Amino acid sequence: MKTLAARILDQAKVPYELRAYEWNEAELDAVTVAGKIGLPPEQVFKTLVVRGDKTGVLIACIPGNAELDLKQLAAVSGNKKVDMVPVREIHELTGYVRGGVSPLGMKKAYGFYLDEMAEILDPISVSAGQRGLQMLLA
């Protein structure tokens, strides 16, 4: 069964590859996922949900071995401050659960910020919208 994120790419005729891996609640970090799907951590992007003081909810997609610079995101998004959204709110806001948040197919369209490393890495991997499933994109 294809996820909503995969169906969106199919409809747009965007090529991708799905990679399944054994999902474990204790191993949600992108570095561990990278090892499970055979990519370096910088190519496995994590999707983070944040809230800005002026714009509300935003989505940041950054390499798995990086940390989100909240001050920099605030500056580029027109906020004075951004904070991570509490885990308990992620499903309600995105339609996805922690460990399976895809940047594609969220319940609502939010401001989206993709790390510039995505332009030079090939492929990059993002969650396919289901725990234990990644999609590789050129």
Taking 80 as the threshold, does the pLDDT of residue 1 lie above it? no
Q: Which range marks the domain in which residue 121 is found?
A: 4-137
pLDDT value of position 24: 85
What's the total number of domains in the chain?
A: 1
pLDDT at 91 over 90: yes
Tell me the pLDDT of the chain averaged across its residues: 95
**CA 17 – CA 2 distance, rounded (Å):** 12
Environment class of 74 (CB within 10 Å of its CB; exposed 0-12, middle 13-18, buried 19+): buried
pLDDT at 25: 80
Whether 94 contacts 109, CB under 8 Å: no
pTM of the model: 0.93
Question: Residue 20 is part of a domain; what is its CATH number?
Answer: 3.90.960.10
Count the alpha carbons within 13 Å of 109 in the hemisphere toward its beta carbon: 0
